[in-house]
Chain A
Amino acid sequence: MAQILDMPRLSDTMKEGVLRKWHKKEGDALAPGDVIAEVETDKATMDFESFDEGVLLKRLIGDGDAVPVGAPVAIIGAAGEDIEGILEQAKGRAGGVGSSGGAKAAATKPAATKPAAVPATPPKPEAAPTAPPQAASAAPAPPPARVTRTPVAASAPAPVAGSGKTLASPLARRLAADLGIDLRGLRGSGPGGRIVERDVKAASGGGDAPAEGAAPAEESESPDESAPRARSSAASASPPPPAALVPDRRSEPRPSSAAPPQTDDVRKPLSLMRKTIARRMLEAKTTIPHFYLEAEVDMDAAMAFRDQVSEVHGAKLSVNDLCIKAAALALRRVPAANASLEDDAIVQHARVDVGMAVAIDDGLLTPVIRGADGKTLGQIAAEAHDFAARARDRKLRPEDMTGSTFTVSNLGMFGITAFSAIINPPEAAILAVGNVRKVPIVKDRAITIGQRMFLTLSCDHRVVDGAIGAKLLSAIVAILERPMTLAF
């Protein structure tokens, strides 16, 4: 009996997968565990394995195709089986995949419903349909120009379809061209974010503009002009209202229309990983109330400890390994910070699973050291080393990267003294580690050279208050300054 193979959900944040490479041809026999294809998820390139025995009857997508989770990818069955009917079915589903895949994703993860309108790529520069001829502004008696800066009622970015096209009604396009308004700066109030006439009128300050809409400068002098409109028309002279400013295209050259671009910008479509980073970091930075705590650690003892361990055990310990272990032990002592906000509850995690941020070519991955508080420094160092290598080869599995309760991010090796990290949801805090610096210090009433390191803890104030955060950071500092406790 033939069956459709769907794009599998290979990680819990995966929304679509790119079929990197088929390993089986149509007609090839399949045994359970056989690798059918390689699939690039938002995090890694994974093997797509067969669960069944049979024959690959039909590939439904090609190398490099991206499809949503749950979309048909292949048909398998018995050799020579008639797949006419099931092929139709698969095609039908593929046609409606945008909705059905989305609905499926939504069922398992509520957040998945939102990004429908999120642009897959930034809007392309328009072919300047909105640009009035340059001569118009240079003419001796230009028509009474509208405003030079036009506050827009809403500051959300112009919605675009997956193609990067700005959605606007034909009338809105014509009107915008007449008024010299760039549609890409507008927020559409029509279905699917379509920019319609009223949005353009609101942006121009005319017609049925909402209260925030700016009036043309000339009009603001007419006596019947309402006060708020007159005020916002003065936006260029006073601090602008909390609204995006769209420059009037009549008063400045439009690079897209006239002069060819002077440098060749490189346009790189977002990889799945970059999309995921973008989505998750935007979500974190815009929805989590971050606050930051900073402390300096005396690293003299820790560095000596590290050298001793290396000497005796031959093991290579990094500062990051020490920080992971120190953070894990501290989290065990301050469990309130080892927590997540879930709807209307704070969940305190039983395990201390520490994610470590690993930079790779095109992004960032965070493999997780499980139960780091219970592991020896040697185990942590070995795991971290293995993770870093596999991250660079993009061979991490999704389960290597999910479920961390805290993250350590270290930019010390890049010479960074201190920085503030964005929390990795759903965690409640993240530790940013700077470099170990040799600095002059005062010791025993004399100036001498010491080793110091800055730690910055970013906390989600919904979960962790200042005192809890301070307790956690102090505990980490205390452990690092007494490195014997790391062996505990």
Chain B
Amino acid sequence: MAKVSFREALNQAMAEEMERDDRVFLMGEEVGHYQGAYKVSQGLLARFGEKRVVDTPIVEGGFVGVGIGAAMVGLRPIIELMTWNFSLVAADQIINNAAKIRQMSGGQFTLPVVFRGPGGSAHQLASQHSQSTEAFWTHVPGLKVVMPSTPKDAKGLLKSAVRDENPIVFIEGEVLYGDQGEIPDGEYTIPLGVGDVKRVGRDVTIIGWSKMAKVALEAAARLEADGIDAEVVDPRTLRPLDEELIVGSVRKTGRCVILEEGWPYNGVGAEVAYRVARACFDDLDAPVERVTGADLPMPYNAGLEHRCIPTPDTAIEAVRRVLYLE
């Protein structure tokens, strides 16, 4: 086991896949000579050359479309978005082309393309650069949406994403890039659509992905001091969702708290809560609780921003509510 950062893990995944399959290439803004806006593609240009590590103009609608076209004709592109906030100008390409062409062509085309980049809030990036876009993408049939929370998951899931025949939305928590974590030695992949129990517990299930899995673990650690044994479930892939894992956990604990950095209305957590309520109705001792980002554009002010994002404190409050400890 080696300890690497989240960004190094992603870098390894891309390098290994490019090594393994020469149809794989990386394209995006500043991915080559600048080594990536977040240094995720560090060293790849030198190693694989300009043909496979392609710097693009600032035109998401263009290079996302080029990526889709490349996938249709047999390549396996990794398209880096400098952040998922910028994907919105390419939403037409992702939703109307990437997600639909396989079905519209009657299966004549497959779309093995990965769109990846950082998402979620970071620090004082204000309303237009702090968005959690997973709810947009999980809404669309035809897309798979992956949101790892650890370096190990990031590497294993990105490798699976590159090998998948469908368009993948791969969202990396912007504040996770520096996180260190152990990864297995040698080749490994983690299948898409399979979640992971990050902490085993029996009193309450806390569901969180990406950055929120960390918040859940921190909350669980603090709850332990109060004698509350929380189970933390990280679905890792939001679409397809590992419903079996989630349901199994909630059946065991009888209580469910869902953390989500995005907005509450029609959030991913709303879908998860519905599935839990449906599958675990007779197991629930309390209504499913959601802790979400505030229902407003992110304020720039640091104090206000902090109030808009789920924290271990707000997660603990929700856990205490479902345990009737308030």
Contacts and interface: CB of A to CB of B under 8 A. Distances in A.
A100 B254 CA distance: 34
Contacts of A172: 285
B260 to A, nearest CB: 23
Interface in B133-157: none
A171 B256 CA distance: 13
Interface residues of B, number: 8
B274 interface: no
B317 to A, nearest CB: 15
Contacts of A189: 324
A171 B285 contact: yes
A196 interface: yes
Contacts of A169: 284-286
Contacts of A174: 282-283
Interface in A167-195: 169-174, 189-191
A146 interface: no
Given A190-B286, A196-B286, A170 B324 contact: no
B267 to A, nearest CB: 24
Contacts of B282: 170-171, 173-174
A174 B283 CA distance: 8
A189 B323 CA distance: 11
Contact of B254 (A190, A191, A197): A197
Contacts, number: 27
Contacts of A191: 324
Residues of A in contact with B, size category: 10 to 19
A196 B321 CA distance: 12
B281 interface: yes
Interface in A121-171: 169-171
A198 interface: yes
A366 to B, nearest CB: 43
Interface string B270-293: 000000000001111110000000
Interface in B282-308: 282-286
Contacts of B285: 169-172, 196-197
A171 B204 CA distance: 13
A263 B242 CA distance: 54
Contacts of B284: 169-171
Interface in B187-209: none
Interface in B40-95: none
A198 B254 CA distance: 11
- Residue with the greatest number of chain A CB neighbours at <10 A, chosen from B283, B285, B286, B324: B285
B324 A196 contact: yes
Interface string B254-267: 10000000000000
A190 B281 CA distance: 17
Contacts of B283: 170-171, 174
A120 to B, nearest CB: 24
A171 B254 contact: yes
B273 to A, nearest CB: 15
- Residue with the greatest number of chain B CB neighbours at <10 A, chosen from A171, A189, A190, A196: A171
**Which A-B residue pairs are the 6 nearest by beta carbons?**
A171-B285, A197-B285, A169-B285, A171-B254, A174-B282, A170-B282
Given A171-B283, A191-B324, 8 more contacts: A169-B285, A170-B284, A170-B285, A190-B286, A196-B285, A196-B286, A196-B324, A198-B324
11 contacts: A169-B286, A170-B281, A170-B283, A170-B285, A171-B282, A174-B282, A174-B283, A189-B324, A190-B324, A196-B286, A198-B324
